[in-house]
Structures are given as structure tokens and as C-alpha cells.
Structure 1
Amino acid sequence: MKQRNMTSIYLRYQNKILMLYREGSRVANHLWISSAGGHMENEELNDAQSCILRELEEELHLKVEDLVNFQMKYVTLRYTNDEIRVIYYFFAEVADLVEIVSNGGKLQWFSLEEINDLPMPITAKKMLEHYIAVGQFDSQLYAGIMKNQDMTVSPLL
């Protein structure tokens, strides 16, 4: 059984989250996903933050200095397609609503009320449901375990 390690970051501005419409990916095709993210390189396997900062710069041309309240909020596990997927989800705010461009697809801001109606990977959908209801209001790090179509979420700290 293989393991796939990934990182993902959701950028916020006030009551909106920046989402990316992804086409042509074998993992997430014709779906809305986080602002940026990707697979960990071998040297990043024990450092999710280094991975997401690399992805942020590669995909959105942003650095951590461009962000406010940058933090890892969720670590999720899901068994699918004969592999265990481990995803480290980060959240951050952009200080000003500046134009952000991506080389990975179409970016669009959505209000928190619109997010749950978007087609997206099930793990991201369940994590965002928890984030909107609970996680956005604290600095807690959460663990989420997917089983079938449900996610069990617990505080890690």
C-alpha cells in the first residue's frame, strides 16, 4: 500500500476564500480545490510547511511575508485507490485584496456561505464544513479521518 503526502492552503480575505478550479489533474479534475498545494518532494516529507511555502511561491508567486495568520489547521487521512492520502491543510489571510494569478487553473473568491455548494474532493469538502462551523474561530490544530463519505474530526493539541 502506498502513501501520498500532500499540502494545501486556503487563502482568505475577510469573509471570502480563494478557490482554484482544476482541470487536467489525475487527483482532482473538474473540481474546486484550495488556492495552492501539491505533493511533497522527498526532502519535504517531514516538513509540510516547507512544501506549502514552495507550492505557494510556484503556483501563486506569493511568500509567507505576503500573508497574515499563516497556520496549519488540519491533517487528514483517507484510504482511497489503494493508497493512504495524508493532507496537511493550511490557512492564511491576505492583507489586501491584490490580484493573484495561478498557473494551475482559474482562481475565484467565494463567500463562506457559497463554499459548500462547490464540487470538490470529499476530504476537502468535509474539512471545510468543519472549518466554517468551528475551525475558523480558534487556533486549534485538528485531525480528520475519512471513512466512506464521513469525516471524524478531533483536536490534536
Structure 2
Amino acid sequence: MKTPQQTIELFLANTTNPDIIRSVVDPNATYISLNFNNPELQRILPWTGTHYEGAKGFIDTFAGVNEFWTIQAFQVQDIFSENEKVAVFGSFTYTSRSLNKQVTSPFSILAKVKDEKIYHFMFMEDTFATAGSFRITPAGTFHSDPKASEFEV
């Protein structure tokens, strides 16, 4: 019997294999990709948001990632678990296929596994950087610091 951590490690080693994904994902699993719901980001990264369709959400997300970027590196730095919960931290380097822009981002995952099936999975990354790998023009004008002026990025 696989531990929750071993189940996540198996998944992460096989993100482009639909058969493995189906074997380790509960049919009613929730997958939160980068945010709960952000229509603007979804225009850039169509797989983002909350998915309730089990393995399909996982398969579609990782297919989209592989379609939009070439993956140079995906490195797990730390992985640990407590009961059903598994936390994963690391970094990846992708190059956008459309503009050939490379980006490196940290990532984190919170997964929940029961009976060798992932039933909850939340993947976070630096979406400003990853979406920026598709940016042709400046991101826009920002005003974050109330004591400072606006600026262009």
C-alpha cells in the first residue's frame, strides 16, 4: 500500500501519463490550479481555477502546460506529509513556445490523499512571472505603494 507521499511522488513523476493520473486521482477530486477563479488569468492560462471533474482537471492542466511551454526543469526541493496531507515545494523552469521566453518560478502543492487516491490538490506558482512569459507589451501601470507614485511594468 502506498503512503500519501508516495502517491503524490508517483503522480509528479507521471504528469503526462493519463493512465497513471486516472489510477491515483479520485473521480470526485478537486484540483485548484493557481487560483480559485480569475477570468483574466484564465484567458492567458486556460486551465487555471477550480476544477471538480476528478482526473480530467489534472490531465487537462498538465496537457495545457506542456502545450504552452517547453519544460526545462521541475525540481522538488522538499516533500513531507502528515496523515492525509502532503506538502511539496520546489521550482521549475519553462520556456514559452509562442515567444520563446524562459521563466523560473517557485511552486508549492498542498495535496490530500485517502486510500491511495488524490482527492484535493492545490498548485501555486508565481503567476505574474509565468503569465509574463507570454507578454508582448508592458504589463501595465501599477500603483501599489500608497506613499509612492504609479509606475510601468
TM tier relative to shorter chain: under 0.3
Q: Which has the larger radius of gyration?
A: 2
Higher relative contact order (CA 8 A, sep 6+): 1
Give the TM-score normalised by structure 1.
0.26
TM-score by length of structure 2 reads 0.27
